Amino acid sequence: MDFDRLIEKRSIAQLMEEFPISGDFFRNANIPLTDTHKTLQEVLSTLDDEWFYEFGQNRFEVHNQLVDFLQDMTASENAQAIKSLTVIGGKNKRGEDENARFTLMPGDVVSVVGPTGSGKSRLLADIECLAQGDTPTRRHILVDGQPVTDDVRFALGGKLVAQLSQNMNFVMDLTVQEFLEMHAGSLGAGQGPLPMAGVVNACFEKANSLAGEKFTPGTKVTMLSGGQSRALMIADCAYMSQSPIVLIDEIENAGVDRRKAIDLLARREKIVLISTHDPLLALGATHRIVIKHGGIYRVLTTSPEEKSSMKELERVDAMLADARRKLRSGERIASL
Ligand SMILES: Nc1ncnc2c1ncn2[C@@H]1O[C@H](COP(=O)(O)OP(=O)(O)O)[C@@H](O)[C@H]1O
Ligand SMILES: [Mg+2]
């Protein structure tokens, strides 16, 4: 990742949102966090030489120190990084050739659309298992342009792909805080310089901002509503999971701010595939794969016209959400 440019362009607040760990750098370096809408350079230029003397800093070094810091902190993520994922078509349910081949890069958000039973989940499953012509679809998945050998497939299994599914079950009776600490711990947080509290808090705050109804760190995960648990899983996926590929099978009607969730995942430089019947999610993606009779029928890039039609769809969506809320709480619906 080009941290040099990111630090130049992003405000401190944006940096702290994208890389919660950068907050620790700013605090350790005593950088005042009063004007976080400014870039680091802008904030440094408001500080006089005396300030730099007092805190033993060099005006010209802070930027590079932050670059090094972020590079170190994200190094373990980079270890798992992949450059591309290629899907090579096989056969649809009628035995006809799919004639499809496309390549996805980190940051791509792809929706998968098609009628129920058409094969959306199957496509996600092919990617999850890194199919090599050995699934019912006969598809091949390449990683960085190469077929995946059995050894690699086994070694990568689980690490490459994180899956968010319709039926999420928490088996253990943990609080949200404990759940996140457990995950942060397995990431290596709390050992060495990666502070546990920073990662856990950032993840919790984000989960809560995605959830329709708010919850506290002390809430038991088994008591979360469907929407809350999905919000938690999405934030967990973005902050704790090192998997470069995220598969999401139908998260609609889930009480989650879906657009925010997808934006979050895309900004974490992951390849996101999301099967959906929701027009807003489908158009919010950069590309969409249309599935028909078990085969990849078309791969479309979302057009500027489609993007601009989202405003109107969002208005209608908000109206429906409002009506749903009113009906649920026993209110009457005024005539429109
Ligand atoms: N190309 C294919 N060849 C054979 N079976 C397929 C193919 N694509 C999908 N299927 C099967 O069709 C069924 C429905 O697919 P599924 O992915 O669950 O649909 P969806 O998620 O769109 O509702 C599944 O049993 C799946 O394994
Ligand atoms: Mg399905």
Same domain, 31 and 149: no
Which of 73, 102, 119 terminates a domain? The answer is: 73
Strand 140-143 relative to strand 85-88, pairing = antiparallel
pLDDT digits (tens, 9 = 90+) for 238-265: 777 777 888 888 776 566 777 777 777 7
Q: Quote the tokens at residue 305.
A: 């016209």
Check whether residue 167 and residue 279 sit in a common domain: yes
CB neighbour list of residue 244: distance below 8 Å, 6 or more residues apart: 80, 81, 82, 106, 160, 269, 270, 271
**In the numeric block, which tokens belong to residue 194?**
């990666």
Residue 259 lies in a domain: yes
Rounded mean pLDDT, 193-205: 76
**Which single residue is written with the structure tokens 């950068």?**
22
**Position 157 pLDDT exceeds 60:** no
* Ligand 1 touching residue 198 (CB < 6 A): no
When divided into structural domains, the chain yields a total of 2
Q: Same domain for 189 and 60?
A: no
Report pLDDT for 167.
47
Cα(99) to centroid of ligand 2, in Å? 22
Q: Report whether 210 contacts 260 (CB < 8 A).
A: yes
212-223 average pLDDT score = 89
Strands (DSSP E) contained in the chain are 85-88, 101-104, 109-113, 140-143, 146-147, 161-164, 245-249, 271-275, 287-292, 295-301
Percent of the chain clearing pLDDT 90 (strictly above):
34
Q: DSSP code of 81?
A: -
Residues 103 and 240 in one domain: yes
Average pLDDT of the residues in 107-118: 93
Say if residue 150 is in the same domain as residue 237: yes
In a domain, 328, yes or no: no
Cα 254 to ligand 2 centroid, rounded to whole Å: 16
pLDDT at 159 over 80: no
Q: Look at residues 35, 52, 73 and tell me which one is the last residue of a structural domain.
A: 73
Three-state SS for 185? Answer: helix
* Structural domain containing residue 20: 3-73
Residue 195 Cβ < 6 Å to ligand 1: no
Residue 254 contacts residue 226 (beta carbons within 8 Å): yes
Q: Which atom of ligand 1 is nearest to the CA of 139?
A: 1
Q: Which of 122-136, 268-282, 322-336 has the highest mean pLDDT?
A: 122-136
- Residues 28-57 have a mean pLDDT of 89
Mean pLDDT value across the chain: 84
317 lies in some domain: no
17 with 66, same domain? yes
